[in-house]
Structure 1
Amino acid sequence: MEKIMETEVQKFYRNKNVLLTGCTGFIGKVVLEKLLRVTEVNCVYLIVRPKLYDKLHETKKDFMQKLKLIKGDCIQPQLGVNKEDRKFLIENVNIILHCAATTHMNNPLKSALPINFGATVSLLKMAKEMLMLQSFVHVSSAFANCLTQHIEERFYTEDLGINTSQISEDDIFNEQFVNNLDKDFCKKYPNSYTFTKAMAEDAVLKCENLPVCICRPAIVSSTCKDPIIGWTDNHQGPFGILFSVATGLLRIMYINHDVNAVLVPVDYCANHILVCAWRTSNLNTNLTPLIYNFATDEHNPISWKNASNLVALHGSKIPISKTIWYPFLILCKSKIYYKVARPIVNILPYLLVKLFLAITRNKTRIINISVVEKPVKKVEYFVTHNWIFTMHNTKRLWNSLSTEDQELFNFDMLSLDWSEYIRTNLWGMRRIVAKEEPDTIPKSIERVKRYS
């Protein structure tokens, strides 16, 4: 166990009761791990579905001293929390870290609205009754306001076009209302995710006199350092694409290679959230909630082209043994060219491999091409458009930290070494996704050479 130092941020969390939503999600897991490892919180309350509650209670008994599981479901009215547990939370919670969300970009609005917007509204209402509440962090998205090219750390109610305070809980679960909302407002957004995240931000703005702030992380990728170098559990985002390229299944993407790759390590994101909670506790609740954009630093950017070159550079030294074709990736800036080239570059080789395996009666199973291309379609909008993110609040927050807190809760995107970060991403992919140890590298290199 790491030695607990008494930094300013650690003092803030000492003996506090924290309500964490989204604890089973990608960001939530890292936030929870960091809280338990480097702070002396009194207790962390986790809202989890009943089935998950039973499994965790059986398998994680050693963590229960500082954890209390609350049966609930963020897609249900009032978070699915019963009256007794709600009363308990109201009387005991000091800090709320709201990480729960669905990140499935193409979910129908009726699926995205209850958790991304409804859960936020329910949590804000509960927070209003919490007399001991010191800080509330709402985790949004850097792309919640993607209709604007230059995204500042402010609210964009003019883009949303609706007043969310007029939406009732019944409306959220009313099919006719949701259909009208989809038709009249959601359609101008690229997907239901960005629209419902924008709605949730408006709900935060409308909720007055709360110690609340908004964190807006960009595309969250694997860890840089904590708790494990290159760790991820998210195979649907950038990591899933990286794995598909490494295996030779994905060879072409519709992507503007000149656009900035706004990737942020998940451990940096978790640290940013935890520090935002500390800072928010010291602010005037009568002021407009502060927003903290969290994306790549303008003085340390990386384009998708440069990121791809680094993947090729490091990937050639640590390939995986599960390749079915020589790994390469064509970044296609033209949508027309992509549509013409995709059947030849992606589909045809896949079918040839499938035919070869069938003829040779090889029992090796390969992922369906539609599954491979699913995460590509999910991020297509975000890798073909360019945004400028203002991060004045985030930079001021970083500069306000002591040297000890900066080391313990690092989220400095200016000093991130992109080459090293991408190399550790590849190591994480080998170890976590492909489940391959370092001693398999020489054999993997020989295998890739046979394809070249």
Structure 2
Amino acid sequence: LAVEMNVVGVNRMIQFCKKIKNLEVLLHVSTAYCNCNVKYIDEKVYEPPLAPHKLLDACEWMDGDVLNTLTPKMIGNRPNTYTYTKAIAEYLLYQNKEELPVVIFRPSIVGASWNEPVPGWVDNYNGPTGLLAAIGNGLLRVMKGDFYGTSDIIPVDIASNMMIAVAWDNVVYKSDELKVYHCTTGQMNKFTWGQMERMSHECFMKNPVNTVARIPNPRFTKSYVWHEVCVLFDHVLPAYLMDMMMWVSGKRPIFVKIQDKLRKAVGSLDYFTQNEWVFSNKNLDDLLNKMTPEDRKTFNFNVKSIHWPTYMESYCLGIKRFVLREELSELSKARQTLKRLQRINFAVNVFLFIAVWRLLINRVAVARTLWNFLLGWAIRIFKRMPKVAKSS
């Protein structure tokens, strides 16, 4: 499917564009991660290990099962077929640069809008939107990721504005070379996974979603062992417990299935949340310098203007409004639900603490001795309190 969409589709577009008279520019939207096997990514097209025409020929006669078997060898140290086929597509365009006015645009992780059409606008679960929605309803609480690593999110309106400017640049200032433009934030306005953890928690505690099932409490960790322990106690066991409650109340259990789907979806992002890249931005800087102050304001793609706390609050509210289709007028009801979950969570934690402590003092001699000492010490302090009060 990735080959069909990203390589075969691009090849068809190339053949179509060759028939167009007076074509001014062919702008191809790729991804900043198409060469994620390299840590420093320059504004150039990298030659892939397999020539595009060989991949296209193989897809014509090879059986799907054979292709699936060969896929791990073909993609090498790339994490998935998406980034691999995007790199193949870029090189296919590069091979046709003499016949077509090609320019390549590489955005990073596209998120909700910064300003246009309204702050926080988003209409799908792609990219970080699905993660934030799962964080908002409390079902996603732990992820593999570098707390201090860069979360290279780019607002969709910033990317759209830059695409327009890139097309303009390559029509007005024609070049014999194929230009590549990175649309990223990491080197110019860094935003980390740790900041996303903190800000998303603050936003969803302030403005909870109506479907909140547990208290939003996301965490990123690079430790495999700690991640698996947290998944067991914070994802798997609560999912079975909630499904048991659903079954007892006569409703269809859904939480275990949701957690299974969520783990697969989140697992596909592990590579990107645990690694970091440096993207060259020279062409972006040159483009900004060519534009007039009025154009820079109208087609704003200066990522330094993004204020991340404001953006994240708009993003989380945008998920609530445009993706989950919830009315902001229902916020008071959602906040009451969240407070009720907090009270339940406190009661459960107290019960578990007492149960575990009782088990320890009944089974472990050291715990029993410590308990007797603390209890005796507390009683002595309590008995002496009236004497202290009288003497004062």
TM above 0.5, yes or no, is yes
Per the alignment, residue 347 of structure 2 pairs with none
Per the alignment, residue 307 of structure 1 pairs with 196
- Distance apart, 1:126 and its partner CA: 2.4
**Residue type at the aligned position of 1:120:** V
Question: How many residues align structurally?
Answer: 338
What runs of 5+ residues in structure 1 fail to find an aligned partner? 1-110
**Residue type at the aligned position of 1:119:** G
Greater RCO between the two (CA within 8 Å, min separation 6)? 2
Matched, 1:340 2:238: no
Per the alignment, residue 278 of structure 2 pairs with 388
Please, which of 352, 356, 359 is the counterpart of residue 248 of structure 2? 359
Per the alignment, residue 51 of structure 2 pairs with 163
The secondary structure found in structure 2 opposite 1:137 is: strand
C-alpha RMSD of the superposition: 2.1
Point out the structure with the larger strand share.
1
- Distance apart, 1:183 and its partner CA: 4.9
The secondary structure found in structure 2 opposite 1:213 is: strand
Please, which of 163, 168, 174 is the counterpart of residue 273 of structure 1? 163
- Give me the whole-angstrom Cα distance separating, in 2, the residues matched to 1:155 and 1:301: 25
Per the alignment, residue 329 of structure 1 pairs with 218
Per the alignment, residue 175 of structure 1 pairs with 62
Per the alignment, residue 451 of structure 1 pairs with 341
The secondary structure found in structure 1 opposite 2:143 is: strand
Per the alignment, residue 312 of structure 2 pairs with 422
The residue correspondences of 1:220-239 to structure 2 (distance < 5 A) are 220-239=110-129
Please, which of 74, 80, 83 is the counterpart of residue 191 of structure 1? 80
Please, which of 105, 117, 123 is the counterpart of residue 7 of structure 2? 117
- Distance apart, 1:344 and its partner CA: 1.3
Per the alignment, residue 332 of structure 2 pairs with 442
Per the alignment, residue 289 of structure 2 pairs with 399
Mapped contact 2:43–2:182 kept (Cα < 8 A): yes
Matched, 1:290 2:179: yes
Q: Quick one: structure 1 residues 405 and 181, their matched pair in 2 at CA, closer, same or farther if it must change by over 3 Å?
A: farther
Point out the structure with the larger helix share.
2
Per the alignment, residue 373 of structure 2 pairs with none
- Give me the whole-angstrom Cα distance separating, in 1, the residues matched to 2:76 and 2:83: 11
Query: Normalising by the residue count of structure 2, what TM-score does the alignment of the two structures yield?
Result: 0.81
The secondary structure found in structure 2 opposite 1:260 is: coil
Per the alignment, residue 215 of structure 1 pairs with 105
Mapped contact 1:237–1:379 kept (Cα < 8 A): no
| Rg comparison, structure with higher value | 2
Identity of aligned residues (%): 27
The secondary structure found in structure 1 opposite 2:76 is: helix
Query: Normalising by the residue count of structure 1, what TM-score does the alignment of the two structures yield?
Result: 0.70
Per the alignment, residue 389 of structure 2 pairs with none
What runs of 5+ residues in structure 2 fail to find an aligned partner? 343-392
**Residue type at the aligned position of 1:443:** K
- Distance apart, 1:114 and its partner CA: 1.6
- Distance apart, 1:243 and its partner CA: 1.0
